[in-house]
Structure 1
Amino acid sequence: MPVYNKLVRDLIPQVIEKSGSHFSSRILDKSEHLTEIKKKLFEEVQEFTETTNRHDALEELADILELLHAALPVHKATFEELEKIRIAKKEKRGGFEEGIYLIEDEDN
């Protein structure tokens, strides 16, 4: 039996059961949950960097977005609050749409 020791989506236990396999799992406490969300987020970002087509890129971005949604309650925050912060930062410093690549800053 493979050993995973990682955070999985909430319905994975049911998927495994329906396939006739057996598994072991446990519910993480809040601090462990956040730690595992961070690990999983890193894993999904790595997978996103390896995508070579639109479909795979969107699949990985959806996983990243789902992890952001999972992290918010741990911080007692909402997606609306996160979006408000994102918009404020964008208004102050801009977004990343234009692809500006800073090479150097002579004053620093």
Structure 2
Amino acid sequence: MAVPQLTVDERSNALLKAQEMRSKRMELRKKLKSGEIKLTELLNDLDNEVVARMRVKYLLESLPQVGKITAKKIMEDIGIDESRRIQGLGHRQKSFLLEKLA
């Protein structure tokens, strides 16, 4: 499949949108780390595009006292691929995550 040719305006709009999404995701991760937002709230907020498109790996690493190694181990135990996004999680995977981290 060929990459679509974008105009200069379309390209700059896409870059601005990507930058905005990264900023929102960073804010969300900070709130999760500080405890302002709970994991259950995020897993149930799939209408929010920022949450839905976040990788599970980064979500877990944003939790207090969960680093890269712990996040990887949790994902391996549950059977979640490293590239999986939150919107792609099944009901069982979500419940296992909540069970492990509650």
* TM > 0.5 fold call: no
Normalised TM-score (structure 2): 0.32
Per chain length, whose mean CA-contact separation is higher, i.e. which structure has more relative contact order (CA < 8 Å, sep 6+)? 2
Work out which of the two has the higher radius of gyration on C-alpha atoms and give 1 or 2. Answer: 1
Higher helix share: 2
TM-score (norm 1): 0.31
